[in-house]
Structure 1
């Protein structure tokens, strides 16, 4: 539990192996990571047999416990961990019937598609999903259905695939139960707290980093965010912030940080963003009061891959009133 005292300190109550512990701190860094969506969150019907795993659970069984969770499996979703587990299970002798992706294109990085699926002849099926599971004590089969552009199931397209495990790689959600209890404003798209370039949320003294902020593709981005949050939290002084919202192009689904504190000493900023659709040959630019302060050309942008652009806010000055992240085809 976390409560803020009248003196400005946060009173943190923790349960440890040695009992209940109380800590007073001016700052808190939330590094709670993310969790996987489950079968019930994506509305898969049928019985409740054993053999339905998230990709992370299957990875834990295989890599940490040394147990094979399956001999013949279906993987739903083409996220990075799903593709990595397809390769891992194949190397351990399991038969991967295929990866089934409800969208029309890959859900993870292209390098993982090449290294994990193509190199090991594991098939990828797009515009298909699992609609039902079969089995009593153990999973015996799944029902695969085709979907249209509206993600609606096409009647008559169903087929049964025999397997003893269904592995889910259907997305991650930032774990922010604690942030919500502290009434930290949450971004509707990323499902993580809204923050500035210091990774400080809209609640003074509360910082966020890693996958608790937004789900990252690479651990390098997570590590970098942790360093920024740690440094800014250590140097934290409760002073006024002047926040300017980082506006974005309609071609982008989100960008972080969501705000820029123009009084902050953190002038070198990495902006992370995702596109809504696959677009080739684009120019991404950041303007401050209609003056370009950063620009970058990209061969292709995809919804499944985070892109970054680096800003030097010292070029913008301290009186900026508008910052815009643009994206246009060239």
Structure 2
């Protein structure tokens, strides 16, 4: 028995040493960062900003690949199936925990399929409409949403996306059902809003600040408790009459479950460097989002938030009655 135990201990030690030696050589080839939404959207912008910095830190190219569809679940499924070697990563947002309750046939378990690497940024949504929408301020658009219901077309980036979740929360807050129009990302949704093909979009500040300031669309309110410096003239939805309304977006970086601890640390270290980059901080600030406090950038803090939001979105979506079918 002692001989067997000794052999097992030796084998375990050799495996650990081999893993550590392998991790020391990481990375030695291109890393792919999956963005589960279309190019030009907010997740794409955040992902490319982080990838650019991590490329410099890690000494290997971090290439962004947009894998769109099914509210971000197709891209997430791609990473869940990938080898846990640190060469396939995922950037995702609030829709990752929400989709676990929205979709009843996901091919992965959101709670266990991913290794959180660190939280990136947080910011509000912006309630906006096409530029000829007949409402002059936030109180007027809320009144119109309440009065018109399904006459209002509300764009979103696919079932489970942030824009879709915001639309669900708005429906609940105003006591009406809208006509929801899905796209393969907020990039094309915003394009159609600017073109007047849809009435309303609740979009991340990272995607909405530019068109609002350019007056390509009408901005009405933000979904945070406080006003947004980048859109200082817009009230909060709470101020506009939807008491207690708050919807904050956050992005995080993920690897497949089973990724070696040494690789997780290297990736988190590279992410921390990116989040201290003044050019990235300014880029985020200019579009109404900010990096998480340093204490919340660890894999442990990221996992805690993911687990918490899995539970909270389960309750919200059950109350909304929303559901979808995923093909991933």
- Name whichever structure is richer in helix by fraction: 2
Larger Rg: 1
Shorter chain as denominator, the TM-score bin is: under 0.3
State the TM-score, normalizing by the size of structure 2.
0.26
- Name whichever structure is richer in strand by fraction: 1
State the TM-score, normalizing by the size of structure 1.
0.26
